[in-house]
Amino acid sequence: MKGITYLTNATELKFLKENLIDQVIIEPISLSRLGKLSIDEVNALAKDASENGIKTYLEWDILMVEDNFISSLEEFKKIDLTYISALRVQDPGALLWCLENTDLDIHLNLETGNHNLRGINSWLDTNRSRITRIILSIEWSQQQLKDLLPKVDCEVEFLGMGRILLFYTPRYLLKSGLSESEAALEMKDTNHWIEASGQSEESPHKGFPLLENKHGTFMFLPSDHCLLDHHKELTDLGIKHLRIDNRFMDESLERVVYQFLKSPLEESFDRIKELSPQRLIRGFFNTNKSDVLFKKLKNHRIQRIDENYLGQILEVNKKNYLALKLKNPVRHLTCGAKLRLITPDGKEKKLEVQRLQDCQGTDLETATGEDLVFINHVGGISVKAAVYFDEI
């Protein structure tokens, strides 16, 4: 498994080379979410990297509305692709354009969603010879990766260590909360780059890193993703490239991280934890149960579930009547019918229909379709109870 990281200036090249990093991502400010490099800097860095035997991949990971797409293309065309080994894209529009207008390899970013084999294969089928790497979401669990990777005929990259992006919007949310003078102060060092941290009394998490730049606003988790101590498992799973997101690391941490990749010793991992600016977590790597709470989000007892379903109780008038909204277009309700009623809290009651009336109080022999009928009362029933014919 090979490491991959971001290159932001020429002085890092020697350091990366020393640490056996032979592939880097470069990010132009105009095309990359967190890019800080001008086109001239990108061209110069790519050349330098290439001359140092390091492969350079160009990050074009912003999402683009039509007008932005056109302006991004103008910027893209200024880049000297001679020293670029692959293009990294997420927007399907960028993917298609790159496939049709360049002959470079594509590293396809599938980190947003894409949690099934069929979808991944469909992305790859777009052009299997050109899409030479996919970058998977860190929401894939170890077991899911174990099932998936033997069936994926493409190199896979996974985030080994770095910030967890939670939110990406094109709107400028941080600047808008400041006065002009405050905004000018916050942005004084760079061209539209504001950093902050946020916390809410409604969330148990504190200190969400926030960032605004020309591409919009980004929010990150206050803990960083780290699977370095699962290095061996990741290798065994078949992950070929482990990304170290060094963009928010200082050099001392970065050095220990690369050292760990070369020689994964427990004490150096302890040192990584010490030096990390945020708590380190494994995210969903051990298990992803982010759908288990769904069954608690609503009451399934009041849903109609079979052909014996008759309708729903709309009103309960104690000792007098139950108002029943029929919802079975096929079955008829008649006096003498035996019913089973299930309340929203799961209680079950039985009832024999002895009285069947319409809204005028007229006795009915039968009712069907969407009729609203009034039947005799039975205790313990509440509004929204589901009503079934009591049949085996």
Among 67, 267, 274, 363, binds another protein (CB under 8 A): 67
Please list every residue from 213 through 242 that binds another protein, using CB under 8 A: 219, 221
CB of 142 to another protein, least distance (A): 14
Among 53, 66, 129, 379, binds another protein (CB under 8 A): 66
Give the CA distances from residue 155 to residues 84, 108, 129, 132, 237, in Å, rounded to whole numbers and listed in that order: 18, 10, 12, 6, 12
At which residue do the structure tokens 């008759």 appear?
310
**Cβ-based nearer residue to another protein, 47 or 327:** 327
Among 53, 65, 82, 274, binds another protein (CB under 8 A): 65
Tell me the C-alpha distance between 82 and 79, whole Å: 9
Contact 31, 75 (CB under 8 A): yes
Please list every residue from 287 through 326 that binds another protein, using CB under 8 A: 288-294, 297-298, 303-305, 307, 309, 314-315, 317, 320-321, 323, 325
Please list every residue from 124 through 163 that binds another protein, using CB under 8 A: 126, 139, 144, 147-148
Other C-beta atoms closer than 10 Å to the C-beta of 138 total 20
| Residue 109 makes contact with another protein by CB under 8 A | no
- Tokens matching residue 7: 């290159």
**Cβ-based nearer residue to another protein, 297 or 392:** 297
Pairing outcome for strands 105-110 and 131-136? parallel
Site string for another protein, 72-101 (x = CB under 8 A): -------------------xxxxxxx----
Stretch that binds another protein, among 1-9, 153-161, 202-210, 344-352 (CB under 8 A): 202-210
The DSSP call for residue 285 is: S
User: 348 forms bridges with which residues in the sheet?
Assistant: 342
**Cβ-based nearer residue to another protein, 2 or 146:** 146
Stretch that binds another protein, among 2-10, 122-130, 230-238, 343-351 (CB under 8 A): 122-130
CB of 200 to another protein, least distance (A): 4
Phi and psi torsions of 140, nearest 5°: -70, 130
| Residue 374 makes contact with another protein by CB under 8 A | yes
Among 9, 71, 169, 191, binds another protein (CB under 8 A): 169
The DSSP call for residue 176 is: G
Other C-beta atoms closer than 10 Å to the C-beta of 353 total 18
Other C-beta atoms closer than 10 Å to the C-beta of 175 total 17
Tell me the C-alpha distance between 245 and 157, whole Å: 12
